[in-house]
Amino acid sequence: MKNKQKNVLIIGIILFAGCMRTPIGMVSPLLSNIQGSLGVPAGLLGSITTIPLLCFALFSPLVPKLGKKFGNELIMFIAVFVLALGNYFRVFSTSALLLGTLLVGLSIAVLNVLMPVTIAQEYPQRVGVMTSIYTFSMTLFSALASGQSVALAEQVGWQKAMQSVSILAIVGMVFWVPALKGMHRSKTGKKTGSSVWKTRGAWFMSAFMGLQSLLFYTTLTWVPTILVDHGLSRGQASQLFGLMQLASLVSSYLVPILAYRFKHTRGIILTMAVGFIAGIMLLMIPTESVGLTVVVVIVLGLASNMAFSLAMALFNIKTDTPEQTAEISGMAQAVGYVLAAFGPIGIGYIQQVTGSWNIPLIILLIVVVVLTIAGLAVDKRRTVFD
């Protein structure tokens, strides 16, 4: 790909990254609007978050083969087109909501797997910086959408608020078209020597990916509700939730760069663990204090995106070729999102049974410990195939 095409592709990466969390993240603050307007049964509300996770789990292993056969850029272009359609039409009825969310989930699954691969292929000398741009953009767009979704819904209605993501996707496709001219299919690279599914390091990587996703999507789903239960208004909860994601911009940008510079990530992993533990323990304190809640969401935001950004960086750091990156990305996201899918539903069910958020939050603390162990195990290996 020529330098001019690569420069255009950077804009495409930024806009595509903006579509990868926003369609899911902006839903949580609007759940009551969706339920009231469409009459969605309470039992189905959680599926709006869970359906994409199941798509990630089931479809991710197939994505590397599609990218290799048809080209990563083309498959990603088609995926974003499907995302735009699914997101636009899912606001009209309960059945459309479920089908549209399914299409959104399948599309994001493609982007999840192929974005690290595309970065490794097209920017081999700038992988750390490009990964930072990717994770930073994803976090920024998601934070803006989550923090302002309620206010936007009050101005234009919740349907148009959700449909606005489709505009972002279409604009991204415009900047992706020149990149299609430089598209290439993956060539046979270095052999792994064994199936990625039989490699211990790959399973540690999958555990790290899955548990950080479980923590992220559980907080994505339930933190606004927890804040409202503590006595804050829905508007305050939405803004604080947006602040949590804005705070994570720091770690989303710095972590990939630091990880590539130092290679060994033990310090990042331990810092992440301390942040998660502190944030979750503070969240257990029922308070209407906006000041304390600001501290809680900032700490959780930093820790959550530190884990995600590190996972994205490790896909390239712990592999030798883009083909290996595709293999471990597909496996880790398949196995990982199986774990993540149980997070929002499981935590919500336990809270309903116990009538308290303390037990669910204690369970999340245990998850943090296991996440840390998995991360340290990955850090010890030169590659996940060793």
In a domain, 91, yes or no: yes
In a domain, 384, yes or no: no
Give the mean model confidence (pLDDT) for residues 127-145.
88
Of residues 148 and 256, more confidence is placed in 256
Q: Which domain holds residue 162?
A: 3-181+193-379
In a domain, 386, yes or no: no
* pLDDT tens-digit map of 70-118: 888 899 999 999 999 999 999 999 899 999 999 999 999 999 999 998 8
Q: How many domains does the chain have?
A: 1
In a domain, 21, yes or no: yes
| Helical residues (DSSP H) of 19-126, grouped into ranges | 22-25, 31-38, 42-45, 47-59, 63-70, 72-89, 94-122
- pLDDT at position 300: 92
For the full predicted model, state whether its pTM sits above 0.85: no
Cα–Cα distance for residue pair 350/205, rounded to 1 Å: 28
- pLDDT at position 248: 85
Cα–Cα distance for residue pair 333/268, rounded to 1 Å: 21
Q: What is the CATH number of the domain that holds 342?
A: 1.20.1250.20
CB atoms within 10 A of CB 147: 22
CB atoms within 10 A of CB 325: 26
- 184 pLDDT band (50/70/90 cuts)? low
Amino acid residing at 240: L
CA 146 vs. chain centroid, Å, equals 14
The tokens for 105 are 């989930």
In a domain, 161, yes or no: yes
Angle between helix axes 322-354 and 47-59 (nearest 10 degrees) is 150
- pLDDT at position 243: 84
CA distance from start to end of the chain: 31
- pLDDT at position 13: 94
Q: Identify the CA nearest to 206 among candidates 61, 94, 359, 357.
A: 61
In a domain, 145, yes or no: yes
Give the mean model confidence (pLDDT) for residues 19-34.
84
Cα–Cα distance for residue pair 231/140, rounded to 1 Å: 27
- 193 pLDDT band (50/70/90 cuts)? very low
DSSP element (H, E) containing 155: helix 127-156
The tokens for 25 are 């993240």
- 1 pLDDT band (50/70/90 cuts)? low
CB atoms within 10 A of CB 57: 22
Is the separation of the CB atoms in 208 and 371 below 8 Å? yes
CB atoms within 10 A of CB 382: 11
- pLDDT at position 189: 47
- 334 pLDDT band (50/70/90 cuts)? confident
In a domain, 210, yes or no: yes
Amino acid residing at 17: A
| Helical residues (DSSP H) of 182-321, grouped into ranges | 200-229, 234-262, 266-283, 290-317
What CA–CA distances, in Å, run from 366 to 292, 308, 369, 377? 23, 18, 5, 17
In a domain, 187, yes or no: no
CA 278 vs. chain centroid, Å, equals 22
Supply the Cα-derived Rg of the chain in whole angstroms: 20
Please, how many CA atoms are within 13 Å of residue 127, restricted to the half-sphere of its CB?
Answer: 25
Angle between helix axes 47-59 and 94-122 (nearest 10 degrees) is 40
